[in-house]
């Protein structure tokens, strides 16, 4: 069987994009293995703002407080630990550890809201 080195041919035969074939061939030439996870792939994306100890603090706070709101957890994290994070960052950190949060709907606000002045005679 003839050896095929043409990137376009390999891409067409395998159904993989040309850039992917180029990267795999480059990794094979560089590291001797196409499945090598070189340094450039391990540094992709932003570093996580919440470290493991911050997530453990949130988990402990949830065990202590039982049903805190997301905004409340964010504020407590800022006050006690000194880490400023968005609501979505706190949410993602907790979902990675397996937590789920309740959604607050309009019914909750209507049920537990203070009486309105017009309700009194």
Q: Tell me the C-alpha distance between 74 and 83, whole Å.
A: 9
pLDDT band (50, 70, 90) for residue 110? low
- What are the residues whose beta carbons fall under 8 Å from the beta carbon of 112, sequence distance 6 or more? none
- What are the residues whose beta carbons fall under 8 Å from the beta carbon of 77, sequence distance 6 or more? 50, 54, 57, 58, 83, 85, 90
CB-CB neighbours of 119 under 10 Å: 7
Which of residues 119 and 90 earns the better pLDDT score? 90
**Computed from CA positions of residues 105, 110, 113, 116, in that sequence, does the dihedral angle turn out positive or negative?**
positive
Q: What is the per-residue pLDDT across 21-63, written as a single tens digit (0 to 9) for each?
A: 888 888 888 888 777 665 555 556 778 889 999 999 999 998 8
User: Angle formed by the axes of helices 87-96 and 52-65, to 10°?
Assistant: 90
Closest CA to 104 of 78, 75, 68, 74: 68
Q: Tell me the C-alpha distance between 67 and 61, whole Å.
A: 10
Both structure tokens of 39: 């340094």
Give the global pTM.
0.50
């Amino acid at each position: 069987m003839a050896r095929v080195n043409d990137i376009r041919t390999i891409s067409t035969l395998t159904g993989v994009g040309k850039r992917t074939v180029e990267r795999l061939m480059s990794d094979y030439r560089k590291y001797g293995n196409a499945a090598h996870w070189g340094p450039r792939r391990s540094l992709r994306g932003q570093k996580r703002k919440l470290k493991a100890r911050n997530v453990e603090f949130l988990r402990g706070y949830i065990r202590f407080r039982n049903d805190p709101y997301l905004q409340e957890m964010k504020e407590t994290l800022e006050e006690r630990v000194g880490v400023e994070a968005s609501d979505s960052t706190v949410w993602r950190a907790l979902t990675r550890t397996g937590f789920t949060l309740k959604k607050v709907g309009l019914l909750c606000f209507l049920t537990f809201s203070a009486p309105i002045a017009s309700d009194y005679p």
